[in-house]
Chain A
């Protein structure tokens, strides 16, 4: 049928693969993949060691990176405010450690406890971001710094100072404030240990990965519901969304809340694997590293997928592991690699944001020349 032919042709025209264009579009992940391969060649690390390190780090970080997807889809950009989710998780963790609830039940209680906290934090963040439309990223970043101040006040002074703490093991010797490092003895590997495979150095926390996969599917599902459609619509154009009767501000707040909850759970998974809570430091880099990961995966301020999150996390952490080793081999100084890591994290964010702005300009120019 002629009609059908036209349709397939139109379809083909739109999806026609163009290798060069594809390469340019995916320039960021390609560059990082090349860097990883070169680094691995120089470092000459044992493949099994590499694999096990990357697997553990993926398990730790994936959910945190996933938490960035919904705000990007909703047009809020990269939500550096997931730091607040991490704080919610840590508050819940301290409470549960204080009550000495252990094992998987302890983990579940922590996860549940972090939800109301995240909803509250996310709601606040969302309300502030609604007043800063167009500047969400820098606002959410600053909000993270500001929240850090309140967080420190809570943990250094309020706990023990105003709220009496019965369990002294996690308190500073003076009895006021939480210790710098809290060992999460009861919760260490709480989730990982449910099902895991061990082989030589390689440990694969199967159950953690199952949980992460379920969350990924949940995000995918969510984006395909009516709610998801509204979120995407807001992300595309707030004015049109408003005109077609969608409550834009509410949708944006919803997106931030969801992101904050996911970040809280992500931080929980992260910390149960590490087993030690750096009370005043664990959350600080969360936003930065997650954002760097997803950007390396090829996501932009306006587009992010689960696949990009997974790829980015893999590349970012591979580079994290490989670069100190390569630095050691090259100049006998692992610090060089360490330096490279920090350089990469900040550099990639700056570069991607710059590239994104450039692409936008380019698109505008192309449109003009049409």
Chain B
């Protein structure tokens, strides 16, 4: 082989151990980025093979180049070189699961038609042996006409053998269309190539036949990704080509696939043999329990419970540590730098904003660690299988369950976890309803309101009204999420029923290096991508709460009328500043708008500042009510809230109706800039976060309005 550096693409079905091979080849010399404009990740690395530094691309898992989803389209388009800055790979390594040869070879025969050198990697040969499958790599190599290497990616010596094979490869292009399309299919392909693909598209020459086959099978341009000038011409040519196939007695959707499978059958019938097993495999025995009609959902619930209990309790110490670190760091900066605006900006804007980002990291890391472990073992597909029936009833998807449940800890990791949902529409609906799940940031607000305004009456002996309210708020979130999903399912253009053809991979131990690497990657993506937006908004919010600068006048007892408020003269400077800041003024401006919900301007300020994060509400109320930050602060705040009296009416500011209205508002409103930031990042547009903000906040307003009006007129 030449000593030129090559671009080598790893292609393969999902669950073939492709990532393991990629990691083994590249080690730490890899980087992960998003493909431009979309949220599919591109993994690129380098590897030294035979003394030459080669570029390795790990393509997303695909069952076919006739793509049905984004991941597969990326794999296809990278292989044919449609991306401007990416060249056609010099070598395609097709990773094949040896225990599932036929279906894996289907993709391999497609890649062999692309006019690029191909090498077949028969991975998991140990698993196949365990299943009683024996394969002769040389016979496969002969009948397919490509070099074949059988390895088990877990063994280091096997990886060396693979590298050896790559460096010895003479990079021969396999004979295209070796599977032998019949005459009418060939004729149809030629027609499409000559009358459409060649003159009107810029598909590279080597990829023309595979594109022609794709169009014949698909029957249309099934995407809005390309705009062709002469689209009508293309459509009529496709129609003509399909008619040619039909005239030859074939079905345009099936002819190619069946011919390929016939060819594969010929190749594998002598090259592999199965000694039939009498006893059920481990996977079958586990599945008999885990996907059982009754036991399945129970086990899934237990797994989720364990997961979220762990996230809550294990992440908390780390979150406290991060909190402490940023508070102490802020104090240090505050005391070290000279007092002034820069000091304030750094401490209350930048450091507080950064702290607000990093604080989510422990939960994100824990959740993704669990998700990748469950994914790596193969359990995740079973969970989707068990839950799909329930979830489709409400317009969601079997794979929506884990992200939705993660929403109880925090919506951000949950939204990031929706990437496991392949269908875009299902994924968007899941993202859009996910913030209704009662996240942990709502807890402090709920706790404060319930402690202050809900009587601790005992019900049925063991429950208190407070406990039931708490529980009710969680249920309320779930019900709203389900209702919203139900409505959205009807609003969004459906096109067709979501296909859901899901492989249930054999159980195996997760590959720990892959688990840790992917988990770390998710954390990094959050900090760098969402972090930018969060810090920026934090600085804006800091500005609104800190300007214009006002000095608290020295008030005497008699001057108090100036503000005509319920404050006593012991108000501290922070409270005074906040009340006169832009945020404070804005709180007063929106008072007429929020009055029908039972909120006054003080809550208004809280609503504005709590956009940074919901729990900031409590801190803001603390500041407004001039509470010195000491231990047991919330109990003092509680007292102040209960005793706050409207000076005009002499009535308490907070009634039970106000408290309930406020809790409903917090349950429904989109008040979390971090969520907005992550939705922007995950959907790659401002359209969805904007829609989310508008519809959730409108719903919150309406619901709180109804609740308060009913509550205060009872």
- A and B interact physically: no
